[in-house]
Amino acid sequence: MNITTLLVIAGLAFAGATAHADDQAAAPAAEPKLLDLRPPTITELYSHEQLARLIAKMEAENIEEIEVEGARVPPPTFTPRVWPAIAAPFWALLHPTQAWRILAPIPPDQARDIGNQKFDTEGFLEPIGVPPGDPFKD
């Protein structure tokens, strides 16, 4: 092959590439279709009868039923009750090995009781009287 033949082949290849690029530019750009990755609902994939059979088969193969008789025993409280507020330093003097607890947060075995207190409202007394005059007037 001589140089002229190589130049002709290269020119034809270049012309073909530019013609292909011109065809792509002239064609209207198609809007790309978005990929929907959401899973379909299970009822679209299986009928209710098929789902019932699948669940029954899984339960028969994998689930064992165990019955235990008894009552739940509350976990033991093993941390001491620290005296609150101003009495805490006095408690620390009486329990020197546990004195660090006055600076620590409430332990988990005592935190379970927070908010579970029942307040007795039977002893509420109505006020005896209202002071004369309206306190909200100037």
Q: Residue 90 — pLDDT band, cuts 50, 70, 90?
A: very high
* DSSP single-letter state for residue 47: -
Q: Residue 39 — pLDDT band, cuts 50, 70, 90?
A: confident
Q: How many CB atoms lie within 10 A of CB 82?
A: 19
What pLDDT is stored for residue 4 in this prediction? 74
110 closest CA partner among 98, 101, 97:
101
- Inform me whether the pLDDT recorded for 102 exceeds 60: yes
pTM for this one? 0.31
